[in-house]
Structure 1
């Protein structure tokens, strides 16, 4: 996809790489939600749909429906950590809908899952900022060169969003500092 000024070229493979990264980040904290809500599979279903797309499936109703369902599951959770874990799952399914628009808000499609997952882990550890920072470092290691290359096509993450926004900006800065080699 490319075209008008303000648009960014994105291939289906780019979207699959970004979605795989987002799904891997959300996978890490699914247990936080499932400990809180053991009978609710909506976040796991959203991550599963993200993986399905990343591995060659099509974007469509399943991704949208499971993303919305994971967001609704966040509203049913008893703890903020579980709510953030469900939001990470929602963002994983939503990553496939990264738009080719040169807007900072689109960075949330790339890094939102990782930022929500880092916040979930941080809260689960008693609101320990070091835990969130460690999750950001792990996300940097998890990112493929393809994810970094896609991220670098977009403006930096927006300057808002509370603690999740801070974690996203940390991750954004760290990934943009990665040097890609051929």
Structure 2
């Protein structure tokens, strides 16, 4: 059928590497959320579930439940930076559910946590976009060769998505430009 996306082969190890990358990205901004909502552990719980899967756990209910809870925590945040940090945590837990479809929209499962984290640091810095771009440099260094390889199996990130979409596309381009030796 015309318009159908082809399937991308993804192993459990691929999904675990992508999830570990996303968890590390989100973990870097958990304190932003916790400074805003010190008694709310939902984003931290989502990152913990992502790490458990990344380190050999099963892809199951805990990831879905904690991702959903982190999304709800984002809605209760008082600041935009805290909301973005909670979305990074939600994205970390959701990374385990990267779909094996060659669609550009799937890139957000790989890079969403990194982009939301970069947006959170921008907002903490008074919406200084140069801070977000600088943060992405560290995010690029977190990506393992497996993460880059998985990303390259998918089409480039799609247009749209506001500032987070811009950050996803920037991160996508940076990672795609890496060679195997890097």
Distance 2:72 2:180 in 1: 38
TM superposition score normalised by structure 1: 0.97
Q: Which residue of 2 aligns with 1:175?
A: 175
Change (3 A) 1:5 1:66: closer
What are the residue-to-residue correspondences of 1:71-150 with 2, within 5 Å? 71-150=71-150
Distance 1:119 1:67 in 2: 19
Distance 1:30 1:127 in 2: 18
Shift of 1:177: 0.1
Q: Please list every run of 5 or more consecutive structure 1 residues that lacks an aligned counterpart in the other structure.
A: none
Q: Which residue of 2 aligns with 1:18?
A: 18
User: Which 4+ stretches in 1 moved above 3 angstroms?
Assistant: none
Cα-to-partner distance string for 1:97-118 (whole Å, 9 max, x where unaligned): 0000000000000000000000
Shift of 1:181: 3.4
Q: Which residue of 1 aligns with 2:8?
A: 8
Cα-to-partner distance string for 1:50-87 (whole Å, 9 max, x where unaligned): 00000000000000000000000000000000000000
How large is the RMSD of aligned CA atoms in angstroms? 1.2
Q: Tell me the secondary structure at the aligned position of residue 120 of structure 1.
A: helix
Distance 1:5 1:161 in 2: 21
Q: Please list every run of 5 or more consecutive structure 2 residues that lacks an aligned counterpart in the other structure.
A: none
